[in-house]
Amino acid sequence: MASSVASKTFLAAPRTDGSLGSLLPSDLRRQLPSPNVQILIRSRTPKKLQVKAAGSTFGTYFRVTTFGESHGGGVGCIIDGCPPRIPLSEADMQVDLDRRRPGQSRITTPRKETDTCKIYSGVSEGVTTGTPIHVFVPNTDQRGHDYSEMSVAYRPSHADATYDMKYGVRSVQGGGRSSARETIGRVAPGAVAKKILKQFAGTEILAYVSQVHNVVLPEDVVDHEMLTLDQVESNIVRCPDPEYAEKMIAAIDAVRVRGDSVGGVVTCIVRNCPRGLGSPVFDKLEAELAKAMMSLPATKGFEVGSGFAGTFLTGSEHNDEFYTDEFGNIRTRTNRSGGIQGGISNGEIINMRIAFKPTSTIGRKQNTVTREKKETELIARGRHDPCVVPRAVPMVEAMVALVLMDQLMAQHAQCHLFPINPDLQGMMKLPELEPANFQM
């Protein structure tokens, strides 16, 4: 350890004879003729500062770290904690990546990307090995010159200004990490999580567009017990009702041709969710879902169950009364709780709604300021969605799957180490549930 010698004035008043008197030991008084004393100071070795990938890792047991930027070489993720011996290939992820990719229709961004994924590790001979899974998707249709104006002027309501405020530097082309292109690193592992949940418990996660601007799909139009993926994917806006889908598409077209944008709402349901997921007090299931949803680009609101509408009801009107069904399951006659009570899943359908704001990058003149703090006007170029909600559907499903997968592994780690109480902790018995073709 390094040492140094420093000369400091001893903080004690000398006596009238000029010595330090009884304030110093006798042997030290004999050695020091003046009030200046030399003190040996050992310099401490600075502790190592550990910096984690702040904000780019999600989950505790099923852990996902995303990387890459909109106009860089590509984007991807590392999936850590995936159970071994799960059959897995790129095709399992590609289905949802294709649902997320740009250039699908006239109501999405015209950027053309195939978003073809490649697995580089963690899978051997078609099954997961239990080690980190590396997934990569290259960028092939970058146009960095479209962002020349944004290099000096901030887009209103975008992350340009706040990234500068935080880091003092930012990736101008495509918005860097603030671009929705980073969600590729969520959708790919979300597809893995959905597959495991389906095989383990028959869990189904389905999202759909329930509102675009002022076109609102009535709640009683969609039967959540019978909703299918084919219904959701039957049109370009991903609304399962054909009549309202046409109204939503027309609303997006109306602003698209004017260089403007609109927002909307995505509704997501979870069927056959294992009971017991979520923990008190800070890790409640709806709290984990809320964080996951609000981490998606452009999100501004989250509701589960009755949501804000529940505030208009009394307790007697809002409570979900219990009963025992013909299979001996404890069920609720209504589901205003949204499948979660006390922060823990109860086996009923989980339903939630996520609000997305209008796309901030628009082709209309707006007032803003430059990095030099000078007021100016900006007409943003580039290729952007006039409404993000159609492509947000697989993103929402992915984040829900990641939360449930992480919570399922936490549940087994804590509560299934020893024999369970099958009457209370067992899987819910359901009619006509096909056995999973899966070997552990």
State how far the Cα of 20 lies from the Cα of 12, in Å rounded to an integer. Answer: 7
pLDDT value of residue 262: 97
Give pLDDT tens digits for 83-118: 999 999 999 999 999 999 887 788 887 777 888 999
Cα–Cα–Cα angle for 274, 278, 281, rounded to 5 degrees:
160
Task: Give the pairing type, strands 375-378 and 366-369.
Answer: antiparallel
User: What mean pLDDT is predicted for residues 311-329?
Assistant: 96
Whether omega for the bond prior to residue 221 falls within 30 degrees of 0, making it cis, is no
The mean pLDDT of 23-48, rounded to a whole number, is 51
Q: With both helix axes pointing from N to C terminus, report the angle between 90-100 and 389-415 in degrees, rounded to the nearest 10.
A: 140
Q: What pLDDT band is residue 22 in, cutting at 50, 70 and 90?
A: very low
Find out whether 189 and 406 touch, Cβ atoms under 8 Å.
no
**Contact call for residues 367 and 375 (beta carbons, < 8 A):** yes
Q: Read off the pLDDT of residues 179-213 as tens digits, 9 standing for 90 and up.
A: 888 999 999 999 999 999 999 999 999 999 999 99
Task: Return the half-sphere exposure (C-beta side, CA atoms, 13 A cut-off) of residue 248.
Answer: 27
Confidence of residue 14 (pLDDT cuts 50, 70, 90): very low
Per residue in 59-77, pLDDT (tens digit) is 999 999 999 987 788 999 9
Confidence band, pLDDT 50/70/90 cuts, at residue 39: low
d(C-alpha 298, C-alpha 284), whole Å: 24
Is residue 30 over pLDDT 70?
A: no
pLDDT recorded at residue 42: 57
Nearest-angstrom CA–CA distance, 297 and 359 = 10
- How distant is the alpha carbon of residue 44 from its chain centre? 41
Could you say which DSSP state residue 109 is in?
-
* 293, 301 Cβ separation under 8 angstroms: no
Mean pLDDT confidence for 343-371: 94
The number of residues in the chain equals: 440
CA 327, CA 329: separation in Å to the nearest integer? 6
| Nearest alpha-carbon partner for 304 in 320, 281, 285 | 285
The model's pLDDT over 126-171, given as tens digits with 9 standing for 90+, comes to 999 999 999 999 988 766 555 566 678 898 988 888 988 988 887 7
Q: What one-letter code names the amino acid at 425?
A: Q
Report d(CA 378, CA 246) in Å as an integer: 33
Q: What is the pTM of this model?
A: 0.84
pLDDT digits (tens, 9 = 90+) for 256-300: 999 999 999 999 999 999 999 999 999 999 999 999 999 999 999
Q: How far apart are CA 382 and CA 380, in angstroms?
A: 7
Residues 348, 196: Cα–Cα separation, whole Å? 19
- Say what the pLDDT of residue 374 is: 94
By three-state DSSP, how is residue 369 classified?
Answer: strand
